[in-house]
Amino acid sequence: MAGKIQKIHTSHHSNSHNLHSNPSSPSLAPSIITTRTSLSDELELSSSKSKQSISSIPHPNLNAHIPDSSSHPPGLTPSEKYKLTDFHLVRTLGTGSFGRVHQAYHRPTSRYFAMKVLPKEKVVRTNQVEHTRNERRLLVNVHNPFIVNVWGAFQDSSNLYILMDYAPGGELFTLLRRARRFPDPVAKFYAAEVALALHYLHSQSIIYRDLKPENILLGADGHIKLIDFGFAKVVYDVTWTLCGTPDYLAPESVDWYALGVLIFEMLAGYPPFHSEDPNPLKLYQRIQAGIVTYPSGFNPNAINLIQCFLRSDLSERYGNMNHGTEDIFAHPWFAEVLWDRLYRKEIPAPFIPTISGEGDSSAYDTYQENDVGQYGLPSSDPHGHLFDDFEYTC
């Protein structure tokens, strides 16, 4: 698939929807939800205001270059040797099939990070060795404003540790769940930032393969960070591996297809092929049939773009045709988007998380904590040789 993606450097522009002004103070209130109105009302109100401010905006210059994103943010040192003993693990931010993610306070720099902890025994037992090594390898080498940065990867005798950006705004999934659905301009803003992240990955011959609201985090500024590259893959042709989340599983597991599903879910509040039947084969059959019912009130341009993304015929799917990503960035649904300004984060996000400080984690759900005192304890290490790109610095 990636072999067909044209490496077009577009003049990325940004949604001119000024849905919320940026906060004037870096110290904000501790809740992600405002108390004045419901979140859905907030987004509807800011959406209507943004529509009134949209003027005639020039068509994107698809021949200009995307701004350089090869450097890490200032003040951080990804080459530094991070040690487990330098961190205070504050709380669990999320759990998964293979491990959990902690909020981690780095004492030497007084910064907060997200630390993914993966038990080596479980990684080996579930045949995730290559996926885990691949995630570390890819994230160390990709640098984009809308993709999480990795600052270190190390191991002890029992666990693997991957150190990443901490995003205090929590998951887009949580925001969508509380709002129930997003107004059209809000969904467009997040979809545009995801499109920029995917375009960058594809220009590096990387297919993401696990796009869903749970894998999109919000920074303190409200802009997105794509996370979880366990299924990502460097590929120069079609990949046929069955992977990803079922609701987002395309016939060929292609990212643009998943973006169409994401746009639908943001606008409707549920995925286009969602089934109450617990049998996953029923869901796969619905995906293969490709029949989608659009709720009333959908923007006709949004419907057209989703249809272009959900085509099961790869040769007719947006992002994979002769014009590559030009078809996407020039689509009428994105007509107001000023891609270059959006790339530089000059457009305020539609929802600014209200946080009390850098370490505020109120946007995240509460999980039962594990015994972090077990991390770093000496024990037998039969699997360490499988992870030689994870340093022993604990």
Q: Which two tokens stand for residue 336?
A: 């107001």
Which of 156, 165, 184, 210 is catalytic? The answer is 210
The verdict on whether residue 233 carries a ligand-binding annotation is no
Residues 6+ apart with CB under 8 A from 37: 45
Residues 6+ apart with CB under 8 A from 273: 247, 261, 283, 286, 287, 292
> Would you mind telling me the total number of residues written for the chain in this entry?
394
The answer to whether residue 210 is catalytic is yes
Binding site listing for ATP: 116
Q: Which residues are annotated as a binding site?
A: 116
The set of catalytic residues is 210
